[in-house]
Amino acid sequence: MTALDVPTLARVEVAPPVISVGGLNKTYATQGGAPIHALKDIRFDIRQGEFVTVVGPSGCGKSTLLKILAGILRRSSGEVIIGGKPVDGPSRDIGVVFQAPVLLPWRNVLENVLLPADIQRLSRLGAEERARRYIDLAGLAGFEGKYPGELSGGMQQRVGICRALVHEPALLLMDEPFGALDAMTRETMNLELLRIWSESRKTIFLVTHSIPEAVFLADRVIVMTPRPGRISDIIDIDVPRPRELEMINLPRFGKYVSAIRRHFGAVGKLDE
Ligand code: ADP
Ligand code: MG
């Protein structure tokens, strides 16, 4: 190597993480009782375009973590940096999908999807074009004028996902988005989410209590312990993309699932 190569090497850029969490703790005060230590010394980084899932038993602090990242819950200590800035409130660069889609019953599908754009007073023209694109992508074309009461649970959830995408957030936070769906709808939704992700190049952080779902979707799985929630492992998932349902039969897939399940072996099983 000559001296001339050095500046070239020095210019090689490593993209900074989109999310950087360090030494994060959360303690809830309770009325009269002892405080609840929900999260303990959580640290991880997520890079641009990654699909990261978080798996852990009920009550281990998954929703607490997601709400802190979303800027709707205060941390007790530690550092949470998103897009280079410490999180100190909700951000329009983040889309959040909650477990229940909470659609407004008096707004039709298109109007529900447009809600964040209306709240942020974005131009209706551009927003409507994006809304229709995501509605198409989510397999809801033709249902734009239907009301939530006329949709199945799976369709409502897909509307919730389109709504989280409509203002083009770079980061999508999803809290057990498919938890209430039957197994078959859930599989379809997993595939659709992967398709939306690969076409829109978002960074996705998705919480689930299903180990196979966590493995199927992710580039990396963050495994949490029961309360107080700590990270017991972060596992790289080396399964090719695009993912297909048959891949759950790969020996490698089974190994990942067993490795994660072993973390919970001593303290009981998760639902799936
Ligand atoms: P998960 O999403 O993994 O099921 P949560 O983040 O909802 O877990 O909750 C983690 C722990 O914090 C649980 O023990 C829960 O009871 C407690 N918790 C959650 N929210 C509150 C709150 N607002 N006040 C007090 N305790 C809470
Ligand atoms: Mg939860």
pLDDT in tens, 197-230: 998 788 999 999 899 999 999 999 999 999 899 9
pLDDT at res. 201: 82
132-149: average pLDDT = 92
Distance 163 CA to ligand 2 centre (A): 20
The predicted-structure confidence for 87-129, as pLDDT tens digits, reads as follows: 999 988 899 998 888 899 999 999 999 999 888 888 888 899 9
Ligand 1 pocket mutation, candidates 64, 210, 222, 231, criterion most atoms within 8 A of CB: 64
Distance 222 CA to ligand 1 centre (A): 18
pLDDT at res. 108: 98
| Ligand 1 pocket residues where CB is under 6 Å | 28, 30, 36, 38, 56, 58-64, 227
Q: Closest residue (by CA) to atom 21 of ligand 1?
A: 28
Q: How confident is the model at residue 47 (pLDDT cuts 50, 70, 90)?
A: very high
Which candidate, 43, 52, 54, 45, places its Cα nearest to that of 19?
45
Which is it for the CA torsion 87, 92, 96, 100, positive or negative? positive
Q: Closest residue (by CA) to atom 22 of ligand 1?
A: 28
Ligand 1 pocket mutation, candidates 24, 26, 27, 28, criterion most atoms within 8 A of CB: 28
Q: Which atom of ligand 1 lies nearest, measured to the CA of 60?
A: 3
Q: Which atom of ligand 1 lies nearest, measured to the CA of 229?
A: 10
Give, as residue ranges, everything with CB less than 5 Å from ion ligand 2. 62-63
CA separation, residue 155 to residues 27, 143, 159, 160, 188 (Å): 36, 9, 6, 9, 11
What is the average pLDDT value for the chain, to the nearest integer?
89
Distance 129 CA to ligand 2 centre (A): 33
CA separation, residue 260 to residues 2, 34, 132, 219, 231 (Å): 47, 31, 39, 15, 12
* 56, 208 Cβ separation under 8 angstroms: no
Which candidate, 126, 217, 200, 139, places its Cα nearest to that of 164?
200
Ligand 1 pocket mutation, candidates 25, 63, 96, criterion most atoms within 8 A of CB: 63
Q: Closest residue (by CA) to atom 25 of ligand 1?
A: 28
Separation between Cα atoms, residue 8 and residue 3, nearest integer Å? 10
Separation between Cα atoms, residue 49 and residue 63, nearest integer Å? 22
pLDDT of residue 9 exceeding 60? no
φ, ψ for residue 98, nearest 5 deg: -90, 165
pLDDT of residue 131 exceeding 80? yes
Q: Closest residue (by CA) to atom 6 of ligand 1?
A: 61
pLDDT at res. 262: 93
Rounding to the nearest 10 degrees, give the CA dihedral for residues 20, 165, 224, 72: 70
Q: Closest residue (by CA) to atom 12 of ligand 1?
A: 38
Q: Please report, as a single letter, which amino acid is at residue 84.
A: G
